[in-house]
Structure formats: C-alpha cells, structure tokens
Structure 1
C-alpha cells in the first residue's frame, strides 16, 4: 500500500556495470573492460521483473558502451514502457573533458541509443554527477546536442561531487531557454542538506529513514523525489576487487545484500514513474511543476 501521498516520484537507474564505477578508475583500466565478466544484463532482467511486479516505470540512464554490447536488453527496456536516457559513452566525468570532447561524447551516445532503441532520447545524466561550478558550460552543450533535460547535479557538499548551494528542485540553468536541470533529491534540515535520492546513502541508512525522508519531500515540500540506483547494487555475487582502499570498499560493497529488498519496499510504499513522465506532462503524470519555471540559473 502506498503512503499517503498523491505525488508520483521519478525513479532512475544508472546502467553501468560494477567495474565501470568512477571509484574503480584507478583499479580497472578501460582497456580491461572487454575482459571483465559483464553482469549488467542479468541484473537488469531482475530489475525489470521487479518494476513489472509493482507496476512502476523508470528512466534508464545508460552507457553507450553497454548499449552497443546488449542491444536486445536496451530494446526490452523501451518495449516495457520505460524511458531510455544517456549516461555518456564510457562513464567519463565531465570534469575530465573539455567542451568539444564532451559535446562529441554526448552527441555520439544520444545517436547510438536512438539507433539501438528506435526511441528519441531526451535525458542525460553525467557520470558521478560531475557537473559543478567549474563546468557549468556543460548545460549549454547538453542542450545543443538535442537533450531536453539533465539530471547531473547533486546539491550537496561531498568529497567527490556536488554544488551545495544549487537549487534543490528542478530549475532552468540557462536563461531564456526551456532546458531543465533536475537535481537528485535532498532533504533540508536547517542549513544542512541530507542526501535521500539513492545510491550509497540508501544502502547506508535504515530503510525506515529513507522512507521517512522521501515522504517528507512529498508531503512537506510538495515535490517529487528523484531517486537512483545501479544494477550492480542488487548483485551480491559480483566479483570483489582486491587492493581497494577501505573507503572505496566500504562505499561500494556496503549492504548489497539488502538493496533488492529495500528497492521492493520503495516500490511498494511510493508511486514511481519516469523522469519524462513526472516533469514533462506525459499522460501518466499526475503532478504539476510550476516551480522550475520560476527558477533560473545557479
């Protein structure tokens, strides 16, 4: 049974395999990816079954590298009514690219995903939420590449990413343009922002805390929550990499055995659909969002 909230939230999955995460960049070279045991297809099939069981839809921010190798899986995602979106080609952070390199990457990945799926791609999410104050030029490149929205900013203070004073909810980062940035959800407590949009924080908190925070966003802020997770986060049998620093090992492997159960509870307790459905008026969208129309650049 859903909690007492009329708001439908936006569920997203960042489609990358366990060896492609930014935290492993110094331990798994991209040249080694081809020789790794890819587990993303098995994990995505499990996720699709879970979404089907609960009648939920989601946005799949997908690497071009993955789409090239698993085209049937990509078509299955769209066949089941989910939104396909871009996560770049090889999970390279925006902070490691210049504008021309970045533009080539996101343009190439958009076309690749559209060719594989036969669907228009309107959403983009940067690897590791790597749009920050040093590269706000990225929004214009994303818009110029033909995307309608980005979900690439985490409005928190973090050692690896974030713009702590960015708007907490959807806003227009480019003046006089319709392009929208949709940040991952945070909870405001006094002057602090608490992450409650998924990832490692969802595995760290007890589920009851995550449920309370998302319900607070719906009931108190009257906003949809933007939640994300990765296919590898439900995979307890993924290979364990040796030689990882303690912090990296802790963040990646913490509570993997509980994630599937927690995602199922989240789908049971709240209403979920795609990013496109929540923010751009698809027929399944019960929400209205005049707020982001009023907000301008950071």
Structure 2
C-alpha cells in the first residue's frame, strides 16, 4: 500500500523535561514545583508547526500539567487535536499497585475532561510500562472509561518493552483496543521505528525508510511519538546524570524540529481516535 494513501497517527506525550522517567533518580517529585517549567512554550511551538502543515494529532497529557496549565490544554482542544491521558504524575504503571494505578488514571481522566471540556478516551502509560507482569492494567482502563491504550512497545529495551506482543492494533478486551508503538520486523526481530530517542539518533532518511517499509510490508499505519522537551535546545541541563542518560536525553535535540517538519511533509498524519476508533481498524489476537 503506498505511503501517500495511509494516514498515520501523530502523538505527543505532554510532560516537562524534569518529569522524564530517566531523571527520577536525580530529581525528586517534591522538587517539580520548584523547577522552571517550559512545557507551555514547547507545546505552543508544536501547535504552530502542526497548524502550518494542517495536521491534527493526539496529545497524551499529564493531569499534573493540565492542573497547572489549563489554558494550554484548551489551546490543544481548540486546535482540533485529540486530548488523551498520560496519567496524572508520570508514574510508571509497573511501579504502581492495581489500586494505585486505577486511582491515577481515573484522576487524570477527570482533570483532563474538566479542563478540556471534552471526552478523554485514550491513554498511554509513562515509559510504555504495561507488560506481561501487569496486564491487569487493561481491566483498570476499562473500569475508568477508556476505549483505547497505546502503552505497549513490542521491542527489547532496558527500561520497557514486550517483544512478543502483537505489532499492530488489536483488542485486549472486547471494548478496549491496544495500539502498540510501531516497529519494523527485520530478521525475526522488532526494530523501533516510530519516534522518541531513536528518531533523534538515526539519520532522518533511515526513519523515513522504516515507516515506508511498514506501509509496504505490513500495510499498516505508523504510530509516531515525541515529547515537547525534545524540541527545547535551551532547556536546563540536569547536573550529575550518568553518561547513558545524558546521551539518550540530549542527542540531536537541535535537529528535532527540522526532522518533524520533514516527517509532516513526507507522510499523512491524524489523530489516534479518528484512525483507530472511528474507522474501526483494530485487528489481531487478544492478550490473556
């Protein structure tokens, strides 16, 4: 299937630089309120870029952010974008009990709907932290009123991943769809091909080729994700972090905006709910 006929999902995980999971050992949650917040200016820039390319996206937004920047959330909604949940305080689902997780996703959904004035049907777990050890999270999402999740990354990674999970949208429950982050299947292994640090690390032509290969080989839409802080060259540098964390967080952030603009020009993009809920495209086996 040609790339110019497939509508892919453009998604943004709305969190600030100091809330990144890799920084958790260095920045206590109690310090968040004392840090310089830069999420508003960064999201506004993303909204400008998306508007210039007439593209709608899904913004997986923290409840913590929505409480403090309600007008930002309203600008997202007024721009025609989908408002979705990233949980309340960017705690990994795998670090919470079932009761704590249910409270987190219920609280976030209520805040987002109140601030945004619209229904919130989608959820993405921080750090793609739903896996084989906490599949009960899907029951919680159903109970909280969500209709889809995008919380599984079917790769091997030192912080997350579920490599044996289906690669494309499928029903985990009769009324709940999981839309995994996109991978390219090469030599019986799933390669990340959909955003984040990998998109910054790899040369842009490689990322573009990988998305086209998914279109040609699998005839499936790609799920791209990024964060507002990835476009912020002037963000404060966190002192004392280890070399791996420093490299992963800061590599090529000065090239991110140009690469995103290229991506918007090279492919068609839309909202998660329009692609996977309204079109009813989810297929595949359920996880038990």
**Native 8 Å contact 1:63 1:88 kept in 2:** yes
Matching residue of 2:79:
80
Query: 2: distance between equivalents of 1:96 and 1:294?
Result: 28
Aligned-residue CA RMSD (Å):
1.1
**Native 8 Å contact 1:14 1:61 kept in 2:** yes
Deviations 1:49-98 (A, max 9, x none): 00000111100000000000000010000001000000011100011100
Matching residue of 2:123:
124
- Structure 2 unaligned runs (5+)? none
- Structure 1 unaligned runs (5+)? none
Query: 1: distance between equivalents of 2:6 and 2:272?
Result: 13
Matching residue of 1:31:
30
Asked if 1:218 corresponds to 2:201, the answer is no
TM-score (normalizing by structure 2): 0.98
**Native 8 Å contact 1:5 1:219 kept in 2:** no
Query: 2: distance between equivalents of 1:58 and 1:30?
Result: 29
Matching residue of 2:41:
42
The Cα shift of 1:277 comes to 1.0
Query: 1: distance between equivalents of 2:153 and 2:284?
Result: 20
Provide closer, same or farther for how the CA distance between residues 135 and 4 of structure 1 changes in structure 2, counting only shifts above 3 A.
Answer: closer
Query: 2: distance between equivalents of 1:297 and 1:108?
Result: 26
**Native 8 Å contact 1:5 1:215 kept in 2:** no
**Native 8 Å contact 2:182 2:192 kept in 1:** yes
The Cα shift of 1:295 comes to 2.1
Query: 2: distance between equivalents of 1:21 and 1:210?
Result: 23
TM-score (normalizing by structure 1): 0.94
Deviations 1:113-167 (A, max 9, x none): 0000100000000010000111010011011100000000000011000001000
The Cα shift of 1:4 comes to 4.4
Q: Which has the higher helix share?
A: 2
Paired residues for 1:1-298 under 5 Å: 4-174=3-173, 177-281=174-278, 289=281, 292-297=282-287
The Cα shift of 1:294 comes to 4.1
**Native 8 Å contact 2:142 2:175 kept in 1:** no
The Cα shift of 1:30 comes to 0.6
The Cα shift of 1:172 comes to 1.1
Query: 1: distance between equivalents of 2:16 and 2:63?
Result: 12
Query: 1: distance between equivalents of 2:10 and 2:241?
Result: 30
Query: 2: distance between equivalents of 1:56 and 1:214?
Result: 18
Provide closer, same or farther for how the CA distance between residues 122 and 173 of structure 1 changes in structure 2, counting only shifts above 3 A.
Answer: same
The Cα shift of 1:219 comes to 2.1
Deviating 4+ runs (over 3 angstroms): none
